[in-house]
Amino acid sequence: MKNLILLFVLFLTACSTTVPVKHKFPDVPSALTEKCQTLKKIDGDQVSIVDLHKTVVENYTSYYECAVKVDVWNEWYKQQREIFESVYK
Amino acid sequence: MWVLQFLPDSFILYVVYCAMTIGAIGILLSYVIKHIPFINIYRTPIQIISIVIFCAGVYWYGGYDTEMAWRARVTEMESKIAEAEKKSQTLNVELQNKVVEKTKVIREKGKTQIEYINRLVEGRTVEIVKDMSEEQKKDFLAKQKELQEALKNCPVPRIIVEEHNKAADQK
């Protein structure tokens, strides 16, 4: 009987409880989910250099707006990843 | 063991200690009643039941300890996650503002440039030249004249427009 008690005590192990801890994936700022504008074309047969200039400037503006979004997307990913990984260090 | 999550810590510990105490008392009692006549016939069942209860108590104590360790880890993780989510939200607000502000500056710059050329074409240059030196003004007026002449005499060739439009086309 004494040996049986000893055996019981030796093999006693506790069960672990797994509790799911949810880590929500961060949302993306709404400004980054907007699509980039398509480039503008020049309309009409008689096109002046002013019209050409206007269209080119508008297209450059569209490009820079889109470039800002791409740059901020990269920044968002890099920093969110650092924040995410800091939880599991 | 998942049921333990829903029970308060103090209740679990109370049950565990009760089981261990009852088991220990039962084991001791089983040795004492060995010498008492009539009752000693129950010695073996009392001993077996007491050992089982005691072992269950020890097992539960181990389970309680593990449960507490897990709960501590869960609390730690939850606080870390809450802090990370807060940081994420703050970062999102910062980046949203950054995009909005930069976009605003870029649009303003584009508008200003288009407006500048329009003023030159229409001759509304009083505001532009008011702070210029005589030399700068002379240079500026020459550029304005060059632009106005080009507007009159040099329409953009159609091939340039077509090629520009092709370049702007996504396909």
d(CA B118, CA B98): 30
Closest chain B CA to residue A40? B168
pLDDT band at A1 (very low <50, low <70, confident <90, very high): low
Average pLDDT over residues B9-37: 89
pLDDT band at A19 (very low <50, low <70, confident <90, very high): low
Residues A19, B91: C-beta atoms closer than 8 Å: no
Instruction: Encode pLDDT of B24-67 as tens digits.
Output: 999 999 888 888 888 888 888 999 999 999 999 999 899 888 88
Which of A5, A12, A19 is the closest to B70 by Cβ? A19
Instruction: Encode pLDDT of B64-83 as tens digits.
Output: 888 889 889 999 999 999 99
Which of A31, A65, A86 is the closest to B96 by Cβ? A31
pLDDT at B11 over 90: no
HEC profile of chain B: CHHHHHCCHHHHHHHHHHHHHHHHHHHHHHHHHHHCCCHHHHHHHHHHHHHHHHHHHHHHHHHHHHHHHHHHHHHHHHHHHHHHHHHHHHHHHHHHHHHHHHHHHHHHHHHHHHHHHHHHHHCCCHHHHCCCCHHHHHHHHHHHHHHHHHHHHCCCCHHHHHHHHHHHCCC
Closest chain B C-alpha to A29 CA, distance in angstroms: 5
Instruction: Encode pLDDT of A34-54 as tens digits.
Output: 999 999 999 888 889 999 999
Confidence at residue A23, expressed as pLDDT on a 0 to 100 scale: 86
Confidence at residue A50, expressed as pLDDT on a 0 to 100 scale: 93
pLDDT at A13 over 50: no
Instruction: Encode pLDDT of B112-166 as tens digits.
Output: 999 999 999 998 888 888 889 999 999 999 999 999 999 988 889 999 999 999 9
Tell me the count of A-B CB pairs closer than 8 A. Answer: 153
pLDDT at A8 over 80: no
Residues B92, A26: C-beta atoms closer than 8 Å: yes
Closest chain A C-alpha to B53 CA, distance in angstroms: 12
pLDDT at B10 over 90: no
pLDDT at A31 over 60: yes
pLDDT at B1 over 90: no
Residue to mutate among B122, B161, B163, B165, with most A CBs inside 10 A, is B161
Which of B95, B100, B165 is the closest to A42 by Cβ? B165
Residues A54, B117: C-beta atoms closer than 8 Å: yes
Residues A38, B170: C-beta atoms closer than 8 Å: yes
Confidence at residue A22, expressed as pLDDT on a 0 to 100 scale: 86
Say how many C-beta atoms besides its own lie within 10 A of residue B118's C-beta.
13
Residues A26, B164: C-beta atoms closer than 8 Å: no
Confidence at residue A52, expressed as pLDDT on a 0 to 100 scale: 94
Closest chain B C-alpha to A70 CA, distance in angstroms: 10
Which of B61, B96, B98 is the closest to A30 by Cβ? B96
